[in-house]
Amino acid sequence: MLLSDFKPRSKLVTRTTLVERPRFPVIDAHNHLAEPFGGGWDQRPTSELLDTLDQAGVVAYVDLDGGWGEDLLHRHLDHFKNAAPERFRIFGGVDWERWPEHGDGFGEWAAARFREQARRGAEGLKIWKPFGLHVRDQHGALVAVDDPRLDPLWATAGELGLPVLVHVADPVAFFDPIDETNERWEELGGHPEWSFPSPPFPPFLDIVNGFAAVVARHSATTFIGAHVGCYAENLAWVGAVLDHCPNFHIDFSARIGELGRQPYSSRRFFLKYADRILFGLDAGPDLPNYRLYYRFLETDDEYFNYNDSEAPLQGRWHACGLYLPDDVLRKVYFDNAARMFDIKR
């Protein structure tokens, strides 16, 4: 039998708790509404979307798909914000393709563009993961995450009082050779384009340490490190950045597989940094996925699938729930994001 045909079923007799509704109202601070991640809701009636969010107990939803082209941002603002202004926050972005045209002044230009996006209604800035891996300057050189030419952009977000949600790097194993020791061998087999060996790519730690340097340098700007600060595999590293930088927050979207297989460390982490953690699904407005996250946060269920598929999409591991206390749940589900996005209840 090939390993790919091996699909063992756990024989543990343990509890399965269905958490249909979250214990407190939820603000989803990391998600999408356009293709490919968000289900193409910019082409579908918003009333259906609101029904799903109501069912999931999600009272506000951050849509990171505003993009950088005026058209896209305007379409999202018009489509979602006009329909239910209090339910959506739409983020803008940076058009890195324009770097060669603006050269060393690119940071100033991007800052001015973000000001314009904010004037039109964008309520945050999303930095996608090509930054640090693919974005190049006017000389064709890779732009480091802490490149000082971008300081005007980060400072402008601080002046505007709008958060910057950053996803740099990717799972650490994507930077390792694709061999028999790689914990994401099966996933990389299906997506070899997700492999970032160094060289030619920078080492994982250079990227995330560059991000931490930017956060430290711009203490007046609120940063959200996506996917557990971009380093869910190392909660001590993330905790050190949180300790050092009061302006740093994290979301834990798409990382139940990492958190749930280190449940003791994760639980301690959530208790210690309860004021700095935001809820995010990053899988579109998907009811079964929301319920999986609620189960992970609220119950002490053991050894369950970290996604709603039977296949080991990321790796052959399982998650244990964190059974967080109510005061922590309330902060993670609602209070922290409500403070950041000025959402009243």
Query: SS3 for 208?
Result: helix
Should residue 63 be labelled a site residue for Zn ion when binding is judged by CB under 5 A? no
* Binding flag, residue 335, Zn ion (CB under 5 A): no
Q: Is the Cβ of residue 28 or residue 282 nearer to Zn ion in the bound state? A: 282
Of 170, 282, 301, 335, the residue at the interface with Zn ion (CB under 5 A) is: 282
Cα dihedral across residues 71, 287, 167, 35: positive or negative: negative
251 touching Zn ion, by CB under 5 A:
no
The CB density around residue 178, as the number of other CB atoms within 10 Å, is 16
The least distance separating Zn ion from the CB of residue 147, rounded to whole angstroms, comes to 23
With beta carbons less than 8 A apart as the criterion, state whether 247 and 301 touch: no
CA distance 322 to 136: 41
**Binders of Zn ion in range 15-54 (CB under 5 A):** none
Kindly tell me which of 30 and 295 has the beta carbon lying closer to Zn ion: 30
- Segment near Zn ion (CB under 5 A); pick from 169-177, 232-240, 280-288, 321-329: 280-288
Interface size with Zn ion, residues (CB under 5 A): 1
Tell me which stretch binds Zn ion (CB under 5 A): 43-51, 153-161, 170-178, 276-284. 276-284
Stretch that binds Zn ion, among 96-104, 198-206, 209-217, 281-289 (CB under 5 A): 281-289
Residue 4 CB, shortest distance to Zn ion, in Å, is 28
According to DSSP, the residues that pair with 248 across neighbouring strands are 223
Nearer to Zn ion, 63 or 282 (CB): 282
Long-range contacts of 106-115 (CB under 8 A, 24+ apart): 106/137, 106/138, 106/149, 106/150, 107/149, 107/150, 107/151, 107/152, 107/153, 108/152, 110/150, 110/152, 110/153, 111/152, 111/153, 111/155, 111/156, 113/68, 114/153, 114/156, 114/157, 114/160, 115/156, 115/160
Q: Three-state SS for 176?
A: coil
SS3 for 220?
A: coil
Q: Which token pair is 10?
A: 């756990």
With contact defined as beta carbons under 8 Å apart, do 19 and 291 qualify? yes
Does residue 123 interact with Zn ion by CB under 5 A?
no
Task: Please give the single-letter amino acid code of residue 1.
Answer: M
Using the rule CB under 5 A, give the single segment among 189-197, 204-212, 282-290, 296-304 that binds Zn ion. Answer: 282-290
Residue 30 CB, nearest approach to Zn ion (Å): 6
Residue nearest to Zn ion (CB): 282
| Binding span for Zn ion by CB under 5 A among 50-58, 191-199, 278-286, 322-330 | 278-286
Q: Closer CB to Zn ion, residue 147 or residue 282? A: 282
65 binds Zn ion (CB under 5 A): no
Give me the residues that bind Zn ion (CB under 5 A), please.
Answer: 282
